[in-house]
């Protein structure tokens, strides 16, 4: 089965690629088919950022830029978008782009293997912040570069470069021109039938029809899980069904009682929405992978993948989120924890997709915290995750909702610990009982991330930390720790 022609805009010109297999990665196409070897392969699993490129999509009258990992991104997913690699930044006269020039001036590169990736993340930062007159603070630079690893230079000169870009002579992208080209591509695409080895329906109705007609097609969204099946397990797919083009699933809708997040909304946008309502989630959100993964990966993909160490599920359970599954037969909604039936098993029928995640608005008096324990602070998967949402009225626990990750075969609700708290006086004795109950409730496994005993211990400790924070007795922790650089 042949796949449709891939068309995208690069250097202001149309690139067309025919007969690209559905599982071929963007990095393979760039390096092997287009000879664009400036983009490097480091890990091949979305971890190091050497392969970072920037995608542009229409956003009102302008463009929205996203740095993504090309190693785990399927080539077909850039159909209809604009693409920049490290070869595409310099001016017509060969002048370096501010992202490149700042790296040179700040001595941000040694071996250079990571450099193209850093430069592309800086380019994304430049377009999304500097060009909009926003400051690149140290914190912003750290967050947006957390998906790029460097083993030679050290990060200080690279962070300096991020903050120096704005002082250099400006470089501008012809956004209006590219937006017009993208619109022409969209019209062209809409006129063609969505058939072949890579299906990417543009509407929810077409997506559900395709899901029913092709139950064996591999469903993909941002491919930050599936991409690793390709690069590490060498999986091949006869047919792929991409959910991310269905316009309805890319929307975030706000209602009085809840926010409905479309399954294909990138994690970066989904978390931004959650953080806007609950600012205390900012650090937790920023510690979900690195920005390039959050720019590709979707909330629906995290939920459907159902990893027991996935991060959004414990949080969504604590928030009382419901998942809406859809097929041509209709839809059904359920509490998020009811989606899972076993290790990476769920209730989805062969013709169903995850369509929406409905998150209740903040409740009166709610005190919410989400904790992630991982070996590396940034860009790492959890060993243990705990999210607690609690409301106390007249000294008694009126509402409590606890989600946990890394302690069972699926993301779980801590039903017994909740029962130990609900309706009880909110005091140290109740909390100690709940901690003991929580530790006894799950029998976590030992693996490369943590031992069973460690996980149980930490789980209880996190509930204690929640109690201390609620009492205003916040202990010193990594999140509050500010690294102050001594002047040389």
Interacting residues toward ligand FAD by CB under 6 A:
45-47, 72, 219-226, 243, 263, 267, 288-289, 293, 296-298, 300-302, 304-305, 310-311, 353-354, 381
Q: Between 307 and 432, whose beta carbon lies closer to ligand FAD? A: 307
Q: With respect to ligand FAD, which residue has the nearer C-beta, 225 or 418?
A: 225
* Options 17, 36, 68, 71; binder of ligand FES; rule CB under 6 A: 71
Determine if 229 is a binding residue for ligand FES (CB under 6 A): no
Distances (CA, A) of 176 to 62, 72, 172, 180, 182: 6, 30, 11, 6, 10
Give just the sign of the alpha carbon dihedral 352, 248, 59, 294: negative
The residue (of 125 and 353) whose beta carbon lies closer to ligand FAD is: 353
- Is the CB of residue 450 less than 8 Å from the CB of residue 383? yes
State the Cα–Cα distance between residues 310 and 305, nearest whole angstrom.
Answer: 9
CA atoms within 13 A on the CB side of 417: 30
- Comparing CA positions, the residue from 315, 301, 292 lying closest to residue 346 is 301
Nearest CB to ligand FES, comparing residues 92 and 233:
233
Q: Does 69 bind ligand FES (CB under 6 A)?
A: yes
Identify the three-state secondary structure at position 357: strand
Sequence-ordered alpha helix ranges (H) in 354-421? 415-421
Among residues 21, 22, 42, 320, the one that binds ligand FES under rule CB under 6 A: 42
Give the pair of three-digit tokens for residue 285: 């959100």
Cβ of 440: how many Cβ atoms within 10 Å?
A: 12
| Cβ-based nearer residue to ligand FES, 40 or 369 | 40
Closest CB to ligand FAD among residues 136, 289: 289
Q: Dihedral of CA 185/188/190/194: which sign?
A: negative
User: How is residue 427 annotated by DSSP?
Assistant: S
Binds 113, which of ligand FAD, ligand FES, none (CB < 5 to 8 A, cut-off by type)? ligand FES
- Whole-number minimum distance, CB 87 to ligand FES, in Å? 17
- Binding at 111: pick from ligand FES, ligand FAD, none (beta carbon under 5-8 Å per type): ligand FES
Would you count residue 51 as binding ligand FES (CB under 6 A)?
yes
Q: Which of 20, 102, 150, 309 binds ligand FES (CB under 6 A)?
A: 150
Among 47, 225, 352, 418, binds ligand FES (CB under 6 A): 47
Sheet of strand 13-17: strand arrangement: 13-17, 6-10, 82-84, 52-59, 62-69
H/E stretch holding 390 reads: strand 384-393
Cβ 326 to ligand FAD, closest distance in Å? 9
Among the listed ranges 41-49, 88-96, 209-217, 451-459, the one in contact with ligand FES (CB under 6 A) is 41-49
- CB nearer to ligand FAD: give 100 or 382: 382
Closest to ligand FAD by CB, 98 vs 411, is: 411
How far are the Cα atoms of 85, 131, 414 from residue 171, in angstroms, in the given order? 16, 9, 52
Q: How far is the CB of 269 from ligand FES (least distance, A)?
A: 21
- In the complex, the smallest distance separating the C-beta of residue 342 from ligand FAD, rounded to whole angstroms, is 15
Q: Which residues contact 70 (CB under 8 A, 6 or more apart)?
A: 25, 26, 27, 30, 39, 51, 52, 53
Q: Which of 110, 452 has the CB closer to ligand FES?
A: 110
Interaction residues for ligand FES, span 88-117 (CB under 6 A) = 109-115
CB of 41 to ligand FAD, least distance (A): 14
**Whose Cβ is closer to ligand FAD: residue 124's or residue 222's?**
222
Q: Which does 259 bind (CB under 5 to 8 A by kind): ligand FAD, ligand FES, none?
A: none
Helix axes 452-470, 428-441, angle to 10 degrees: 150
Q: State the binding partner of 17 from ligand FES, ligand FAD, none, CB within 5 to 8 A by kind.
A: none
In the complex, least distance from residue 441 CB atom to ligand FAD, rounded to whole angstroms: 22
User: Which residues have C-beta within 8 Å of that of residue 12, sequence separation ≥ 6?
Assistant: 174, 177, 178, 181
Other CB atoms within 10 Å distance of the CB of residue 177: 11
3-state secondary structure 142-198: HHHCCCCCCCCCCCHHHHHHHHHHHHCCCCCCCHHHHHHHHHHHHHHHHCCCCCCCE
Chain contacts with ligand FES (rule: CB under 6 A)? 41-44, 46-51, 69, 71, 109-115, 150-153
């Amino acid at each position: 089965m042949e796949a449709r022609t891939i068309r995208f805009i690069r250097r202001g010109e149309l690139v067309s690629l025919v007969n690209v297999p559905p599982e071929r990665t963007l990095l393979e196409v760039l390096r092997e088919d287009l000879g664009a070897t400036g983009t490097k392969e480091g890990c091949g699993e979305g971890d190091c950022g050497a392969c970072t490129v920037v995608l542009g999509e229409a956003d009102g009258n302008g463009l929205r830029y996203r740095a993504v990992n090309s190693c785990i991104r399927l080539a077909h997913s850039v159909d209809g978008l604009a693409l920049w690699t490290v070869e595409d930044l310099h001016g017509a006269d060969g002048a370096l782009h501010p992202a490149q020039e700042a790296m040179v001036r700040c001595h941000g590169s040694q071996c250079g293997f990571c450099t193209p990736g850093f430069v592309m993340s800086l380019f994304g930062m430049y377009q999304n912040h500097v060009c909009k007159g926003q400051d690149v603070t140290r914190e912003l630079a750290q967050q947006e570069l957390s998906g790029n690893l460097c083993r030679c230079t050290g990060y200080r000169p690279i962070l300096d470069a991020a903050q120096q870009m704005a002082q250099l002579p400006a470089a501008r992208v012809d956004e209006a021109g590219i937006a017009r080209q993208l619109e022409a591509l969209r019209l062209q695409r809409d006129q063609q039938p969505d058939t072949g080895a890579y299906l990417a329906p543009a509407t929810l109705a077409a997506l559900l029809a395709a899901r029913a007609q092709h139950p064996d097609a591999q469903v993909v969204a941002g491919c930050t899980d599936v991409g690793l099946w390709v690069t590490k397990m060498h999986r091949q797919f006869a047919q792929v069904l991409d959910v991310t083009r269905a316009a309805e699933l890319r929307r975030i809708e706000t209602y009085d009682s809840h926010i409905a997040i479309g399954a294909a909304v990138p994690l970066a946008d989904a978390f931004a929405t959650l953080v806007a309502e609950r600012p205390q989630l900012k650090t937790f959100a920023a510690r979900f992978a690195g920005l390039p993964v959050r720019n590709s990966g979707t909330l629906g993909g995290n939920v459907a993948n159902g990893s027991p160490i996935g991060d959004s599920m414990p949080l969504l359970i604590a928030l009382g989120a419901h998942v809406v599954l859809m097929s041509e037969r209709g839809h059904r909604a359920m509490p998020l924890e009811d989606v899972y039936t076993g290790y990476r098993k769920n209730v989805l029928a062969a013709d169903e997709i995850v369509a929406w995640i409905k998150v209740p608005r903040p409740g009166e008096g709610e005190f919410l915290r989400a904790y992630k324990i991982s070996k590396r602070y940034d860009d790492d998967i959890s060993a243990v995750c705990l999210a607690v949402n609690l409301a106390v009225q007249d000294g008694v626990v009126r509402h409590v909702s606890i989600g946990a990750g890394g302690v069972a075969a699926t993301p779980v609700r801590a039903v017994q610990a909740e029962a130990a708290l609900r309706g009880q006086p909110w005091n140290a004795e109740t909390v100690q009982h709940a901690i003991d109950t929580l530790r006894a409730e799950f029998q976590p496994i030992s693996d490369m991330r943590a031992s069973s005993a460690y996980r149980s211990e930490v789980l209880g400790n996190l509930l204690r930390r929640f109690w201390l924070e609620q009492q205003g007795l916040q202990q010193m922790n990594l999140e509050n720790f500010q690294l102050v650089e001594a002047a040389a």
